[in-house]
Amino acid sequence: MTETTTTTGSGGETHQRVTGDAAVLTTNHGVPVGDNQNSLKSGARGPTLLEDFVLREKIFHFDHERIPERIVHARGSGAHGVFEATADISDLSKAAVFTKGEHTEVFVRFSTVAGGAGSVDTPRDVRGFAVKFYTREGNWDLVGNNIPVFFIQDAIKFPDLVHSVKMEADRAYPQAGSAHDTFWDWASLMPETTHMLMWAMSDRTLPRSFRTMEGFGVHTFKLVNAEGRASFVKFHWKPRLGLQSTIWDEALKLQAADNDYQRRDLWEAIDTGAYPQWDLGIQVFDEEFARAQPYDVLDATKLIPEDDVPVRIIGTLTLNRNPDNFFAETEQVAFLPTNIVPGIDFSNDPLLQGRLFSYLDTQNSRLGTTNFHQIPINAPRCPFGNFQRDGKMQTQVPKGRANYEPNSLAAHGEDGGPRESAERGFATVNAATGGDEQGDKQRIRAELFADHYSQARLFYRSQTESEQAHIASSFVFELSKVGVLDQVPPRMVANLRNVDEDLARRVADGLGIALPEKAAAAREPVDMAPSDALSIHKNMKATLEGRSVGILYADDSDGAEIEALVAAVAAAKGKAVLVAPKVGGATLKDGSRRKADGQLAGSPSQIFDAVAIVLSADGCAALLKEAAAVQFVMDAFGHLKAIGASDAARPLLDKAGVEPDDGVTDLGGAFIAAAGRRFYAREPGVRTLA
């Protein structure tokens, strides 16, 4: 057994170092590694250096571990659309894509992170939110997630993160989930993950739909105007339909009911003309603001509260066309953080700096050729040309001899090819990210990177009581799946004591373990003002727009009541879905036959946002003997949804354990008003939460 000593670095990161003659970590070529936690930078807040062969080899090997599936974000859904710039920000950026009134074609890919391409849509997982803008100045890829922060501060740790959360190496399970030994062993030893863990254990990782989740660029970038003045920027996507999530029990049952639930939801919304929309917002700030904060804006585990820097809306994204071919477009689309246009620039965020190397290498590995940019979904929509030639799968046929420059071929009547442009070309802004740009080459983190708990505390204390209960319960569930590594749950709870004592106690109680001693913090956390923008429940819209209502009926149901419901749901911009014991439908009270949209056994209530039960006394008596009908109502109540019911349907509600509350109504206007929301006050009565 290797003996190690554990120390803490300048950023609060964990270093485990061997002693004596124990085996030393090396590169693939046997060179001993002195620091496996930090990439090599020019100063603590300077850019990552290309000469860092440890970083490059580690990520290079990681990028080539899987073929041909993506290592992460393998399961995805894509759509075409358009971005319209709606605000004049020429004072901030010269990028053509932000010219007010400009319309830019886009392709967007949503994805889960941990699972393979054949996994399900609805695990507890981060969702990717990647947008390719086909601007008139070249492609710009904004490659982000539905959470504004990340697990790690330095790209050198990315292979360790993914190895720990993926299927365990000796047994190849579990798939698409973090509730297992290796992830929590790693995370509990990496305090910098704490803020992201709060988001991951919240309902943010259980989105109701791609259409009702936010997107974030995660990193701090720069905007550059025509005069060369740079500002820091964070990018936000705000869904027009508002935020909405599922709850854990509902997500589990969705996996059984429809493995493609979110993929289907996106496709059908676009196919029926209910085009999903997001507003693009920016948080813009300067170096003076950055210096004044108790956190480092280059730290990808930190966010900038919207209360401190409000999000300014500058454009709208509309998805209006489904792919013609999944493989050719959604599967072959290649997003690159290095796809950038004049007017936008990078910061020295060490996680971003590593991504700038990694993604290009990854796409070459996945798509098998340096010419992957010629695949139609990846090709720019503006004129492009250079002197790069040949290579595997070359589809272009360049003419002439000009494959180098400078050349004088044009002076001899030949085509000399394109040339650089100082005026129109991309130029890295001549502005330091911070005052510590210069300095010795070091494997080090900036001092403020050591605060791993302040923003985790901010996030937790910004949630509603229901959301806090969900977070605590998620930690309990995930840590309960840790097997033989019995040191891991107490170690994780010890970290949580730095976030919030009540949270730590609830998790410890839920696990049935003693409250451990608080873990030593590399930098003592500070209290930050709670922010409503961090809560899903505080940002949900009470609307039926873009949502669905399942209407359960049977033989002898009142057709007029059904028609009135369908009309009322449509008037509220929702979608009514008729469910009957048989897909052929049922014979109504007036003797007519009404076909169903789905069979009861295959259309459980978890696929709907609200349900209505339209039954006669005889129809109700028949469904009392149908387990699927009882479960339909029971799950709707347990998942905190509105339930509208005819008087005759009351026995079915009673058998399903439905108790009266504001979300249980008749079939009139009260149901339509209730159907656009969830009733979280009901939850303590239907399940035990931490």
Q: Which residues are catalytic?
A: 73, 145
Distance CA 388, CA 370 (A): 10
Largest CA distance in the chain: 93
Which amino acid would we find at residue 591? G
Give the separation between CA 652 and CA 629, rounded to whole angstroms: 8
Query: What Å distances lie between residue 126 and 164, 210, 240, 373, 606, CA to CA?
Result: 15, 12, 20, 27, 21
Helices (DSSP H) in 229-384: which residue ranges?
Answer: 248-257, 261-271, 287-292, 350-367
| Residue 350: partners with Cβ closer than 8 Å, 6 or more residues away | 38, 39, 41, 48, 153, 154, 155, 298, 445
Within 10 Å of residue 211's Cβ, how many Cβ atoms? 25
Distance CA 96, CA 88 (A): 11
- Asked if residues 300 and 349 have their Cβ atoms less than 8 Å apart, the reply is yes
CB 214 within 8 A of CB 243: yes
Contacts 24+ apart (CB under 8 A), 50-59: 50/357, 53/27, 54/27, 54/156, 55/155, 55/156, 55/354, 55/357, 56/357, 57/27, 57/28, 57/29, 58/156, 58/159, 59/155, 59/156, 59/158, 59/159, 59/354, 59/357, 59/358, 59/361
Q: Residue 319: helix, strand or coil by DSSP? A: strand
Q: Can you tell me the distance from the alpha carbon of 527 to that of 294, in angstroms, rounded to the nearest whole number? A: 10
Backbone φ and ψ of 570, nearest 5°: -65, -40
The single-letter DSSP state of residue 481 is T
State the Cα–Cα distance between residues 45 and 30, nearest whole angstrom: 29
Residues ≥6 apart with Cβ < 8 Å to 668: none
Question: What tokens were used for 323?
Answer: 């792919």
H-helix segments, 147-231: 158-165, 181-188, 194-200
Joined together, the tokens standing for residue 375 give: 């695949």
Number of H helices, E strands in the chain: 17, 22
d(CA 560, CA 61): 65
The owner of tokens 């074609």 is 105
Count CA within 13 A, CB hemisphere, residue 634. Answer: 13
Q: How far is the C-alpha of 344 from the C-alpha of 237, rounded, in Å?
A: 17
Buried b (16+ CB within 10 A) or exposed e, 54-84: bbbebbbebbeebeeebbbbbbbbbbbbbbe
At residue 471, φ and ψ (nearest 5 deg) are -65, -50
* 3-state SS track over 392-458: CCCCCCCCCCCCCCCCCHHHHCCCCCCCCCCCCCCCCCCCCCCCCCCCCEEECCCHHHHCCCHHHHH
Phi and psi at residue 477, to the nearest 5°? -60, -50
DSSP element (H, E) containing 664: strand 664-665
Tokens 């009911």 sit on residue: 257
Q: How many of the other CB atoms lie within 10 Å of CB of 584?
A: 11
